[in-house]
């Protein structure tokens, strides 16, 4: 298990999401917990992004994309964006 950090931007998004769409909030929370429980080797199986976003990995949660990156032994969850606006 690795350490987890959530960006301020994502914290704000999750706060709003908890009020407006509790079902999606639970899905995102479940996905974050699932990724956090993986070992460092397994995390590298997630899709790497290209171009300006190359430092990020992504995972889909419904019609949204959760961006995260690895820095040493820390997983930083950065943002949650609708798929139409993500790329």
pLDDT at residue number 1:
63
8-state DSSP, 55: T
pTM for the model stands at: 0.90
Residue 87 has pLDDT above 80, yes or no: no
Q: Which CATH topology does 3-86 take?
A: YaeB-like fold (3.30.2310)
Question: Would you say 4 and 31 are in contact if contact means Cβ atoms under 8 Å apart?
Answer: no
pLDDT at position 27, please? 98
| Residue spans per domain, the chain | 3-86
pLDDT for the residue 73: 87
1-43 confidence digits (pLDDT tens): 679 999 999 999 999 999 999 999 999 999 999 999 988 788 8
The DSSP 8-state label assigned to residue 21 in this structure reads: -
């Amino acid at each position: 298990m690795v350490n987890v950090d959530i960006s301020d931007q994502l914290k704000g998004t999750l706060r709003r999401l908890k009020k407006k769409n509790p079902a999606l909030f639970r899905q995102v929370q479940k996905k974050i917990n699932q990724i956090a429980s993986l070992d460092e080797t397994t995390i590298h199986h997630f899709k790497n992004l290209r171009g300006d976003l190359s430092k990020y990995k992504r995972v889909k949660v419904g019609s949204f994309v959760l961006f995260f990156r690895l820095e040493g032994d820390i997983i930083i969850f950065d943002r949650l964006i609708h798929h139409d606006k993500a790329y």
